[in-house]
Structure 1
Amino acid sequence: MTSTQHQRHHLPAGTAADGPYAVDIGPDSAGWGHAGLRVIDLSPDGSHTFATGDSEWIVLPLSGGCTVATEGEHFELHGRRNVFTGVTDFVYVPRDARATIASGTGGRFALTGARCARRLPARYGPASGVPVELRGRGSCSRQVNNFAAAGVFPCDKLIAVEVLTPGGNWSSYPPHKHDEHRPGEESELEEIYYFEIAAHDSTPGLGYQRVSPSGPGHGTDVLAEVRGGDAVLIPDGWHGPSIAAPGHDMYYLNVMAGPGTEREWLIRDHPDHAWIRGSWPDQPLDPRLPRYTPPSAPSVPAR
């Protein structure tokens, strides 16, 4: 891999900051067409107003709660203490709108976005409606919070989920890709990974993220040591594994969008590693999972 590729696709904490945002990744800065992510920290009694422009956005509490005012409506988000303690509620904000986020106690909030054509109504997503999926087995066990997965919560282009990987486990495995349009087999999606890593006592955590080329013209090649607040951009290529260091649970927020007329997440496993799925039925699920469940959560079987 080249140093330029690594610098362009691995964004350590602070390097993607802009204005009020600790992370500000948009189609223009990423060099692609659709997916975006912003992360903002609000102090107690802080607020932030933003214009959605040509993109739809979901306001997702990473820590703390807030209110979201938009389109003449006022939504209250209970939020959570942090990403390792619970599923959160969220708010969808349409394109061509303005929204104000305000927090009495302060917190950290993600804005997951995608350029889109349709203007859908603003609405609230309850934590109780988030399907929690236990994916993989053995050392590949992980938890997926499908809050804005395709087929779960209506958006025009945006697909977004959260993944929790217990310390020592591998997720995003087997490596997979979604950089070509193959009807019924693979969808073309850009993807952002945003990481939070659990500390052990006062020791910060770390993990690793791999992205490898899938062929000529699809040449993203990254091996990154990731820490809390880092982001990795994946315009193409096989991505995975995402490796959590022993003793440090890993969280990542996946934001995806693409040019397809259908909003769908269709992936192709790396042919050298796809066999691993066949070994899972003979292995137990990691007993540390589920890390948590929302109240009255719809459950999704392990797979």
Structure 2
Amino acid sequence: MQSNLLKRPLSHAAGGSTITMLHDISWDTTEMAYTGLRVVDLKEGVEYEEHHRDRESCVVLLAGRADVKVSGVAYENLGRRNSPFDRVPTDSVYVPAGHPFRVRARTSLSIAIAYAPTTEGGYAPRLIRAEDNRVERRGKYQNQRLVHNILSDQDQHAHRLLVVEVFTEGGHWSSYPPHKHDRDALPDESFLEEIYYHEIDPPQGFVLQRVYTDQRDIDETFVVHHRDVVLVPRGYHPVGVPDGYASYYLNVMAGPVRIWKFYNDPAHEWILKRA
């Protein structure tokens, strides 16, 4: 029986054969209260639009090129890569609640749309260029990964949303040592839900992701395939990548306070102290 935390692609043709909705995740259909995600594939020349008054959004161009218009403001010829595994940052667009947006595919296009609930104003639509991503390398030994910070808690351009891309090479672990952020206990730990959208290169591969709590009321390990999603309402959530394959995942995080403060599993934190 499939866990309710693991979501396989829908492969649902929402507009004939020109628009394919791979994932449609929200607080209305899952146990998540603060995070949502859609992943949509568009054929060249096709337009896709949304208008939400109850959420802020971030449109991430996973692969391909597009024009994006938000409340009449046009951002043209966006997109920097043919695949996430080009390993370069991409363009994204932040959309506040109450602003309609439209995406027109200039090429075959794959987009992810991250959501967090809010009806507040105060922020304007914003183009987040590839050059605006804060790029960093984390970890050492078999715990190394490349991170593209699209919407991080170091900028103040969103109410709740945090959006990050992570690349992990074969034979390495990511989101490791296992950490969590499921307690409202600032300054030591913040409460943030998290969604992982996974891609794998080559696509016939898989990664392993475990989600578990200290009490083990959640303790599940998933075989995650190309374009699957894993929900992390709470708990630790490490990812392991088999040799010969590369992992990409898009993280969507949100909670009551837009701060990322995590807590490492004490049983495994010792690895950070190795010379």
TM-score range, shorter chain: over 0.9
- Are the equivalent residues in 1 in contact too, given 2:143–2:176 (CA < 8 A)? yes
* Counterpart AA for 2:254: A
- Are the equivalent residues in 2 in contact too, given 1:62–1:79 (CA < 8 A)? no
2:107 and 2:27 map into 1 onto residues whose CA distance is 32
1:66 and 1:153 map into 2 onto residues whose CA distance is 26
By how many angstroms is 1:220 displaced? 2.5
Query: What whole-Å deviation, never above 9, does each CA across 1:114-169 have from its counterpart, x for those lacking one?
Result: 11242221011111111111100011111111111111362110011011000111
Query: What whole-Å deviation, never above 9, does each CA across 1:28-76 have from its counterpart, x for those lacking one?
Result: 1122221011011000101101112311111111110111111120012
1:136 and 1:32 map into 2 onto residues whose CA distance is 29
Aligned to 1:295: none
By how many angstroms is 1:80 displaced? 1.4
Aligned to 1:78: 79
Percent identity (aligned): 35
* Secondary structure in 2 matching 1:28: coil
- Are the equivalent residues in 2 in contact too, given 1:13–1:227 (CA < 8 A)? no
Aligned to 2:193: 190
Summarize the Cα distance change of 1:145–1:153 in structure 2 as closer, same or farther, 3 Å threshold: farther
Q: Which has the higher strand share?
A: 2
Q: How does 1:254-269 map to 2 (within 5 A)?
A: 254-260=251-257, 263-269=258-264
Does residue 101 (structure 1) correspond to residue 87 (structure 2)? The answer is: no
Aligned to 1:286: none
Does residue 143 (structure 1) correspond to residue 146 (structure 2)? The answer is: yes
2:177 and 2:133 map into 1 onto residues whose CA distance is 24
1:245 to 235, 242, 249: 242
* Counterpart AA for 1:220: I
- Are the equivalent residues in 1 in contact too, given 2:153–2:162 (CA < 8 A)? yes
Q: Which aligned runs of 4 or more in structure 1 are off by greater than 6 angstroms?
A: none
Q: How does 1:39-78 map to 2 (within 5 A)?
A: 39-76=39-76, 77-78=78-79
Query: What whole-Å deviation, never above 9, does each CA across 1:164-184 have from its counterpart, x for those lacking one?
Result: 000111111011111110020
Number of residue-to-residue matches in the alignment: 267
* Secondary structure in 2 matching 1:84: helix
1:222 and 1:193 map into 2 onto residues whose CA distance is 15
2:60 and 2:255 map into 1 onto residues whose CA distance is 21
Aligned to 1:296: none
By how many angstroms is 1:79 displaced? 3.3
Normalising by the residue count of structure 1, what TM-score does the alignment of the two structures yield?
A: 0.84
Normalising by the residue count of structure 2, what TM-score does the alignment of the two structures yield?
A: 0.93
Structure scoring higher RCO (CA < 8 A, sep ≥ 6) equals 1
* Counterpart AA for 1:165: T
- Are the equivalent residues in 2 in contact too, given 1:13–1:228 (CA < 8 A)? no
* Counterpart AA for 2:83: N
Does residue 13 (structure 1) correspond to residue 14 (structure 2)? The answer is: no
* Counterpart AA for 1:168: G
1:153 and 1:103 map into 2 onto residues whose CA distance is 29
* Secondary structure in 1 matching 2:211: strand
Q: How does 1:256-295 map to 2 (within 5 A)?
A: 256-260=253-257, 263-279=258-274, 282=275
Query: What whole-Å deviation, never above 9, does each CA across 1:275-301 have from its counterpart, x for those lacking one?
Result: 11112xx3xxxxxxxxxxxxxxxxxxx
Aligned to 1:285: none
C-alpha RMSD of the superposition? 1.6
1:14 and 1:48 map into 2 onto residues whose CA distance is 18
By how many angstroms is 1:10 displaced? 0.8
Aligned to 1:156: 159
2:220 and 2:7 map into 1 onto residues whose CA distance is 11
Does residue 236 (structure 1) correspond to residue 237 (structure 2)? The answer is: no
By how many angstroms is 1:192 displaced? 0.3
1:159 and 1:18 map into 2 onto residues whose CA distance is 28
- Are the equivalent residues in 2 in contact too, given 1:147–1:153 (CA < 8 A)? no
In the alignment, structure 1 segments of 5+ residues that lack a partner are 283-303
1:164 and 1:78 map into 2 onto residues whose CA distance is 18
- Are the equivalent residues in 2 in contact too, given 1:35–1:113 (CA < 8 A)? yes
2:152 and 2:165 map into 1 onto residues whose CA distance is 10
Aligned to 1:294: none
By how many angstroms is 1:18 displaced? 8.1
Aligned to 2:17: none
2:245 and 2:52 map into 1 onto residues whose CA distance is 35
By how many angstroms is 1:14 displaced? 2.5
